[in-house]
Structure 1
Amino acid sequence: MLDQLPIGLSISGALLLIALGLTFTFGQMGVINMAHGEFIMAGAYTAYMIQDFAGDQAVIVALPLAFVVAGAMGLILERVAIRRFYGRPLDTLLLTWGVSLVLQQLARDLFGAPNVNVTAPGWLEGRLTLGSVIVPYTRLFIMALAIVCVVAIWAYMNRSRQGRRMRAVMQNRELAACSGVITERVDQLTFFIGSGLAGIAGVALTLIGPIGPTLGTNYIVDAFLVVVAGGLGQLRGAVLAALALGLLNSYAEFWTDASLAKVIVFGSIVAFLQFRPQGMFVLRSRALT
């Protein structure tokens, strides 16, 4: 039972890294981005491509590179296609789903269909023993990376001018525009950051197992569940929802099997949303009554 705790926490960290980007693109812009999983894949393949050159520092070098690569891909997608579909979430779902299929096929053409492995650096080999609980260093690294990203996002949103503009647009886009905020630029920056965080998540996932063209599809549904259960655009909600889903998934697999665990997780989310349809936390705003 105790051995499942670090496994669940590492799953929570990976889900949180993936969901952080969706929290803002979905919560602020109303875009259902099914291509978010392929930005995860892009980050993972970035680590794969540089491991021969960077050696034991491949993971550290890949983190900023994956952020830029995935962020640039997201920015291009937003500028070329998504900007024409704002306010039409179902259309963005179909559009980005098609883009995800194209990117998956592109990955097969470039890297091949079989899964590949990224060798963990030597300083992440080994494990930490706490009594009867054994925690691999790779899972500790994923948990620490998730904490660093959450702190960085919180500081950005609450301590920077651009972060305050993002919050203003998220709360009331029309009023923010009337106040002089260029919402188009805020959307571009938000999409870049959200996609870049997916790239960082892709690097983290290389420490868990093999990667392939369909890597993102294995996590994208769970990431949307985290965003919906936590509340649209709510950072603290995403943290708590990722923690709950990761632990629930870990212990459900321990008690049953992987397929039934997914059913338990989905059923729990559906039951929770019956009582809290807007998620754990709701964005408070003033309205005329």
Structure 2
Amino acid sequence: MIETPPHVVPFGPIRFSVLTFPSMRWVRTPRLSHRSDPESYALAFAQHNGTMALSRLGTDVVLGSRDLVLYDSSHAYDVRLAVPECAQASVTIAQFPQALLPLPRGHIDNLLGRRIAGNTGVGTLLTQSITSVLTGTTPFRAADAVRLGTILLDLLTAVLAHESDAHHTPPPQHEALLLRIQEFVCRHLGEPSLSPIAVANAHHISLRQLHRLFRTQDTTVAAWIRRQRLDRCRRDLADPRHGGSPVHAIATRWGFTDPAYFSRAFRAAYGISPSEHRNLTGCVVTTAAGSPVA
């Protein structure tokens, strides 16, 4: 039985729930998943002295304090949390629309229901940041909450990307070159002339060698450049500071010269249009006539 009601805190696209209770169990059945599916992901971690076990699709995983677990509202699951007698557990859950997670669906599916370390490396940064934001005493303005939500979603994405990349690590010398190339690309994303051949020439390697490096990332050079540009657009569309900028202006800022192509690429990547994404994150600015900026 939950001892205190859930404390729900919205931060832009993410809704955080903090629950405190003794040992308990909660189940989402296949029937409930089919009847009501908000098409969201949730990332949970607990601060307690006991163990948390999650069963999904016949696979069990046992989690310790600060361990993270990602689950999908479309799937059934069974969660059991056990703590010593008379003790209390506190679980933090971050829930967000599936369309906002900028990672390939196949990579995400491989991480569902698995233990993700939340007390080492980038996982520590995420859990500490979430805890700090939720336990702070200083109130946030609405615009601050939206920006913080975007930052926390980026951190969450970094944790999941790190877990996914751990299975595709290139040799050290190739990894160093790949990092230099990725940094170069990120510095020049706003230049429409940025292309695989331009990247290869800038690093004095052949186009074939460049493509071979990116195969370790399960993507192509052009697809990686496009994804980085789309991700920058996604963040700007959710940022109140850019709420007055038309969608096409944000796209142009990050190297997209064809608005129709940008709109198709954005929908293909995230499942929604740029304008729908802006609405979903709550960053909608209207014109003097009362219509939203498009």
Greater RCO structure (CA 8 Å; 6+ sep): 1
TM range (shorter): under 0.3
Higher strand share: 2
Rg (Cα) greater in structure: 2
State the TM-score, normalizing by the size of structure 1: 0.24
State the TM-score, normalizing by the size of structure 2: 0.24
